[in-house]
C-alpha cells in the first residue's frame, strides 16, 4: 500500500527533536 | 553574527544580558529567565555552569541512558564553539532560532543542517533512511523495510526536483515552504512565556527591562 506520510514528517516526530522537553527541567 | 567563536574568548554566564539580548530575539528579561533554565540543566550532573551532552540528554529525556541520534545532532549544532560543552551564550543563541518571532529562514537553515547528518551540504537518501529508522526504533514503531523505502521514495519524488538523488538547501527550502508542518518542531511556544515559566529571574535581575 502506498504511504502518504512524508519521511521528514515522520522524522520530526522524534523525541530527540522535541526541545520543548527542555522546559520541563 | 551571534555566537561567533572568535568574538568572545571566555564562556560567559550572565555577565552581559543586554549584549545577548541584542544578538538574539530575546528581551533582557527573557535572557535572564532563560538563564534560570540554563542553571537548572547545567547543574544536573556537574555544577559548572556548562551543559555537557549527558546533562542535555537528561533534560530532553529525563534519563541519561537514552542514545539518540537526534539529541546528539542537536547538541552538536548548539555547540558552535565545538568544544563538547554548551555555555550560556551558545544555549541562548541556538534557542533564539526556536523562538516564535525568529525568521523562518533561520529555522530552515537550522533544520537543514540538522538533517544533513554528514554535513556534506545536501541530505542524501541514506541519511533520510537512517533518521526514519532511528525515529521508528526510538518510538517502538515497527514498519517493514518495503514501507520505509516507499515513504522515502515518495519523499524524494517530491523533494528532489533536480533528480540527483539528494536534497540540497534550495530543494529543502521549497519542500518546507510547501509543508510548513515540517518546521513545527523548530518553534517553541515555551520561549514566548519564558519569563512566566521562570519568574525567579526577577530576584537576580540586573536591569529594568
CA dist., res. B53 & res. B146, Å (int): 35
Out of B98, B132, B197, closest to residue A19 by CB: B98
Q: Measure the CA–CA gap between B195 and B98, rounded to whole angstroms.
A: 16
Subunit contact B155:A7, Cβ cutoff 8 A: yes
Residue A19 to residue B188, Cβ atoms within 8 A: yes
Distance from C-alpha of B108 to C-alpha of B47, rounded to nearest angstrom: 34
User: What pairs with residue B122 in β-bridges?
Assistant: B168
DSSP symbol at B11: P
Span B91-109, average pLDDT: 97
Give the residue, B53 or B9, on which the prediction is more confident: B53
Residues of A in contact with B190 (CB under 8 A): 20, 23
Distance of alpha carbon B168 from alpha carbon B171, whole angstroms? 5
For residue B166 the three cell numbers come to 539528494
Residues of chain A with C-beta less than 8 angstroms from the C-beta of B138: 14-16
Q: Report the gap between the CA of A15 and the closest CA in chain B (Å).
A: 8
pLDDT at A1 over 50: no
List, for residues B118-160, the tens digit of each pLDDT value: 999 999 999 999 999 999 998 888 899 999 999 999 999 999 9
Of A13, A18, A25, the CB nearest to B40: A25
Of B9-18, B44-53, B65-74, which one has max mean pLDDT? Answer: B44-53
What average pLDDT does the segment A16-25 reach?
86
Q: What is the ipTM of this complex?
A: 0.86
Q: Select from A5, A9, A16 the Cβ nearest to the Cβ of B71.
A: A16
Closest partner residue to A16 (CB to CB) among B69, B152, B158 is B69
At B153-192, the pLDDT tens digits run 999 999 999 999 999 999 999 999 999 999 999 999 999 9
Cα dist from B174 to B10, B14, B100, B171, B183, whole Å: 39, 39, 21, 5, 12
Å between B7 CA and nearest CA of chain A: 27
The kind and range of the H/E element at B86 are: strand B85-86
A2 with B150: Cβ contact below 8 A: yes
Amino acid at each position: 500500500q502506498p504511504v502518504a506520510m512524508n519521511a521528514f514528517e515522520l522524522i520530526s516526530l522524534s523525541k530527540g527533536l522535541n526541545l520543548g522537553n527542555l522546559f520541563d527541567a | 553574527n551571534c555566537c561567533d567563536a572568535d568574538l568572545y574568548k571566555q564562556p560567559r554566564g550572565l555577565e552581559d544580558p543586554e549584549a545577548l539580548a541584542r544578538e538574539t530575539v530575546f528581551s533582557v528579561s527573557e535572557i535572564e529567565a532563560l538563564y534560570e533554565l540554563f542553571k537548572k540543566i547545567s547543574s544536573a550532573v556537574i555544577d559548572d555552569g556548562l551543559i555537557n551532552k549527558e546533562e542535555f540528554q537528561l533534560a530532553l529525556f529525563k534519563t541519561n541512558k537514552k542514545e539518540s541520534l537526534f539529541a546528539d545532532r542537536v547538541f552538536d549544532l548548539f555547540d558552535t564553539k565545538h568544544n563538547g560543552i554548551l555555555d550560556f551564550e551558545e544555549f541562548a543563541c541556538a534557542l533564539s532560532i526556536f523562538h516564535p518571532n525568529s525568521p523562518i529562514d533561520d529555522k530552515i537553515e537550522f533544520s537543514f543542517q540538522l538533517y544533513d547528518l554528514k554535513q556534506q551540504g545536501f541530505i542524501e537518501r541514506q541519511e533520510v533512511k537512517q533518521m526514519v529508522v532511528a525515529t521508528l526504533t526510538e518510538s517502538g514503531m515497527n514498519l517493514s523495510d518495503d514501507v520505509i523505502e516507499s515513504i522515502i521514495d515518495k519523499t524524494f519524488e517530491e523533494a528532489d526536483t533536480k533528480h540527483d538523488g539528494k536534497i540540497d538547501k534550495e530543494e529543502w527550502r521549497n519542500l518546507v515552504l510547501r509543508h510548513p508542518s515540517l518546521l513545527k518542531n523548530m518553534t517553541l511556544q515555551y520561549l514566548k512565556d519564558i519569563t512566566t515559566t521562570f519568574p525567579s529571574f526577577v530576584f537576580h535581575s540586573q536591569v529594568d527591562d
